[in-house]
Amino acid sequence: MSLKNRLKTTFEFSKNIFTTGAFYETSRKVELEVCTHLPQGDNKVIVEYGMGHGNISKEILNHISPTSKLYAFEVKKEFCEHVRETIDDDRLIIINDGAQNMSKYIDGDVHGFVGTIPFSFFSKEMAKQIIQDSYNKLVSGGYYTQALYTKFNYKKFVGIFDNCKLKRIMGIPIEYVYHCQKT
Ligand SMILES: C[S@@+](CC[C@H](N)C(=O)[O-])C[C@H]1O[C@@H](n2cnc3c(N)ncnc32)[C@H](O)[C@@H]1O
Domains and CATH numbers, the chain: 3-181 (3.40.50.150)
Report CA(165)–ligand 1 centroid distance (Å). 22
Q: Is 116 in the pocket of ligand 1 (CB under 6 A)?
A: yes
Going by the DSSP 8-state scheme, the letter that residue 123 receives in this structure is -
Give pLDDT, residue 181. 98
Give pLDDT, residue 175. 96
Report CA(14)–ligand 1 centroid distance (Å). 12
Segments of the chain with pLDDT less than 50: none
Alpha carbon 99 to chain centroid distance?
Answer: 9
Give pLDDT, residue 24. 84
Which of 40, 46, 8, 49 shows the shortest CA–CA distance to 25?
8
Which of 143, 134, 147 shows the shortest CA–CA distance to 26?
147
Atom of ligand 1 nearest to the CA of 98: 20
CA distance from start to end of the chain: 37
Report CA(49)–ligand 1 centroid distance (Å). 7
Give pLDDT, residue 123. 97
Q: Is 71 in the pocket of ligand 1 (CB under 6 A)?
A: no
